[in-house]
A and B are shown apart, each in its own frame.
Chain A
Amino acid sequence: MALIEAKKLWKEYGDNVVIERVNTTVEQGEFITIVGTSGCGKTTFLRMLLGIEQPTRGELLLNGKPFPEEPGEDRGIVFQRYSVFPHLTVLKNTMLADEFGQSRIIGKLFGDKHKQAEDKAKELLESVGLTHALNLYPHELSGGMQQRLAIAQALMKNPRILLLDEPFGALDPGIRADMHELILGLWKKTGLTIFMITHDLHESFYLGTRLWVFDKLRLDPDNINAYGANITYDIPVGKADRTTYEDIDQSLDKSRKILIK
């Protein structure tokens, strides 16, 4: 059975159609990169996977059951910003997941359990390269380090699905390349299913196993919200070539010109 399945999925806000009739299936272990113009439903789709938005029509299934209507432990998230807790050090930020899980009243661990959570967090922080920053607060970290922390934090729960909402959008190109390497390494090691939104088409072409392009097939320039977006390209990344890249680039450009005036 597929891990995630969308059947004739629609999302509308009143007259504003965001997503229109999306059909797709995703298997465990896929790494899907999502590109698309702003306003083409890629973030909305991610929010539905997260559980903070619900489809208005059609079905979105997780293991054959409708998606939970709130965020849960099986789906980790890294946002572009604000996904770490400013009042906790790097180590405490990471340990928090275990403290939530094992201490339901005060949310703090002591003694052996504290030690276990700390060791686990340290191990994860080592794998994202933050061992030297254990006792720093997030405001003392660079943007790239904060995102590494957010990833380590999410991995503490061993989620089956990791959602990345333009996680590297605010980073410098050089640091972004490091982050790509990091996320690919973690993905290969853990067998996670990853959805990553990016607006960098180049990035989406060599990261991951599958590329989705969210775009509006029909576009009424006078009423851009009349039709929703769909997955217009769904291609395995290994097979993508130069022509496909240019095709996508052109089609995205076309709708960008209409949508963003």
Chain B
Amino acid sequence: MKRWMNLKPDVFGRAVLGALPFIVIIVIYIIASEARLAENPRDKLLPSFNSMATTITNMAVHPSKRTGEYIFWNDTASSLKRLGMGIGVAAIIGLVFGILNGIIPFARANLSPIITVISLIPPLAILPVLFIVFGLGELSKVVLIAIGITPFIIRDLQAKVLELPKEQLIKAQTLGASTWLVIVRVILPQILPRLIETVRLSLGAAWLFLIAAEAIASTDGLGYRIFLVRRYLSMDVIIPYVAWITLLAFMTDYFLRLISIKAFPWFHSTDK
């Protein structure tokens, strides 16, 4: 028999192997949940899929009696808005300073040290400062996400600009380009797909900061809801919410990648 390192699963084998852990987890959950519910039908720790579905359907299709809002969709919209704004602001600032630092040695000398220091501050440690300065409204949450991921995006893009072959930059100069023209025609278009890559990498951190900010001071949002119902041990809300957040994160990542492939075919020429 061949060595294990040389054996490869075929397409079907890959699909089965990939699905297996999911199935195992779901089966174990169902067994454990049924065992607990058989002993105590009012057990809250491992709710059945049925009760989770009922709870979420209630939250998604029936307006709340108190506020008249559809809680599930309202939470989703609030969270995605905060996340989108935070990431959008971070991406724009990151793009501007990443390119500037990468191409202009004076900018790099001037800004690199301060950005490195800022990137080392744990964003959650200054969350209270943000609440004090920006209030408990939307702004402080967006600012937390932006502060949390901007330094990473700047540093990553700066490195990506520095990785562009020097030959290209010299060639552009021999073709008569000014610094500005090199930026808009040579660097920016080549950095955009890399920006998408960097944003995809920082999505996890962005969600973390969003949930943290919502957990501490908010009146809606996915993170707020999870921390609110924790008091009542409402696992039938928490588990579907976590699954929903995971799905949203996955979809965001997937669509960003899709956009990148469609918009920058030359960039993806080497991946399969």
Contacts and interface: CB of A to CB of B under 8 A. Distances in A.
Interface of A: 50, 52, 70-73, 75-77, 79, 81-88, 96-97, 99-101, 104-108, 137-140, 150, 153-154, 156-157, 159
Interface string B9-34: 00000000000000000000000000
Contacts of B177: 100, 107
A159 B175 CA distance: 9
Given A79-B167, A82-B165, A87-B266, A100 B174 contact: no
A87 B264 contact: yes
B181 A104 contact: yes
Contacts of A73: 174-176
Given A100-B181, A106-B184, A107-B185, A157 B168 contact: no
Interface of B: 165, 167-168, 170-178, 180-181, 184-186, 189-190, 264-267, 269-270
20 contacts: A50-B170, A75-B174, A77-B171, A77-B174, A79-B171, A82-B167, A83-B167, A85-B168, A85-B186, A85-B190, A86-B190, A96-B185, A100-B172, A100-B181, A105-B180, A107-B181, A108-B185, A140-B269, A154-B171, A156-B175
B151 to A, nearest CB: 27
A105 B181 CA distance: 7
The CB with the most chain A CB atoms within 10 A, among B167, B175, B264, B270, is that of B175
A83 B171 contact: yes
A76 B176 CA distance: 10
A155 to B, nearest CB: 11
A76 B227 CA distance: 64
B184 A139 contact: no
Main secondary structure of the interface of A (DSSP, over half): loop
A81 B168 CA distance: 9
A68 B16 CA distance: 64
A87 B192 CA distance: 11
B174 A157 contact: yes
A79 B175 CA distance: 14
A100 B175 CA distance: 7
Given A96-B185, A107-B184, A87 B167 contact: no
Contacts of A75: 174
Contact of A99 (B168, B174, B185, B265): B185
A70 B173 contact: yes
Contacts of B184: 106-107
A165 to B, nearest CB: 9
A157 B175 contact: yes
A105 to B, nearest CB: 8
Contact of B189 (A77, A79, A87, A137): A87
Q: Top 8 A-B pairs ranked by shortest CB distance?
A: A82-B165, A71-B173, A82-B167, A139-B269, A97-B175, A107-B185, A73-B176, A79-B167
A99 to B, nearest CB: 7
A23 B125 CA distance: 65
Contact of B176 (A82, A84, A157): A157
A73 B178 CA distance: 11
A125 to B, nearest CB: 15
B176 A101 contact: yes
A76 B174 contact: yes
Given A86-B266, A87-B189, A137-B266, A96 B167 contact: no
Nearest to B184: A107
A83 to B, nearest CB: 5
Nearest to A106: B184
A134 to B, nearest CB: 15
Contacts of A107: 177, 181, 184-185
A84 B267 CA distance: 14
B190 A87 contact: yes
Contacts of A71: 170, 173-174
A157 B170 CA distance: 14
A101 B178 CA distance: 9
A99 B186 CA distance: 12
A137 B270 CA distance: 13
Contact of B167 (A70, A81, A97, A153): A81
Contacts of A87: 189-190, 264, 266-267
A72 B177 CA distance: 9
A88 B270 CA distance: 16
Contacts of B167: 79, 81-83
Contacts of B173: 70-72
B264 A159 contact: no
Contact of B266 (A139, A156, A159): A139
